[in-house]
């Protein structure tokens, strides 16, 4: 399960390596983020799609974050105290064609942070 836990700060992330039972602790001290990707191949020609109408409908805050290395990413974060009080937060990228499935953003790597809007799940009629 992926979640922030204030009792146990995220100093490292334990990952099980593909095609083996080996487990490795990856330190997060100098990381800007941890990217959970769809494929390790990537696509250097892909141009990120920002603030589009075909984004997944996920309740939360739509944000744009800028890292010190110049990278920018948009996504949905939970509208909870975690993104304010914790050392990092989970972001679900909104680009449906991007390679990132989930990103754990470490605040130490952030240069800037913008809330672009709120996304509400439409209520269905009963």
Quick check: is 69 in a domain? yes
Quick check: is 51 in a domain? no
Q: Return the pLDDT at 47.
A: 61
Query: What domain range is 78 assigned to?
Result: 31-39+57-119
Q: What is the DSSP letter of 50?
A: -
Q: Return the pLDDT at 1.
A: 39
Tell how many helices (H) and how many strands (E) occur in the chain: 1, 8
Quick check: is 2 in a domain? no
Nearest to 93 by CA among 123, 48, 126: 48
Q: What is the rounded distance in angstroms from the CA atom of residue 88 to the CA atom of residue 107?
A: 5
Q: For the segment 69-106, what is each residue's pLDDT rounded down to a tens digit? A: 999 999 999 888 877 888 889 999 888 778 888 999 99
Quick check: is 84 in a domain? yes
Q: For the segment 3-62, what is each residue's pLDDT rounded down to a tens digit? A: 445 555 667 878 787 788 898 888 888 889 988 878 877 666 666 655 555 555 667 898
Q: How many domains does the chain have?
A: 1
* CATH number for the domain that contains residue 104: 2.30.30
Tell how far CA 74 is from the center of its chain.
9
């Amino acid at each position: 399960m992926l979640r922030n836990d204030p009792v146990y700060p995220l100093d490292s992330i334990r990952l099980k390596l593909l095609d083996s039972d080996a487990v490795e602790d990856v330190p997060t001290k100098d990381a800007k983020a941890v990217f959970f990707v769809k494929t390790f191949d990537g696509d250097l020609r892909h141009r990120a799609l920002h603030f589009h109408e075909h984004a997944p409908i996920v309740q939360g805050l739509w944000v744009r974050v800028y890292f010190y290395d110049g990278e920018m990413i948009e996504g949905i974060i939970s509208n909870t105290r975690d993104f304010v009080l914790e050392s990092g937060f989970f972001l679900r990228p909104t680009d449906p064609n991007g390679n990132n499935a989930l990103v754990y953003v470490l605040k130490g790597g952030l240069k800037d942070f913008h809330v672009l809007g709120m996304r509400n799940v439409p209520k269905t009629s009963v």
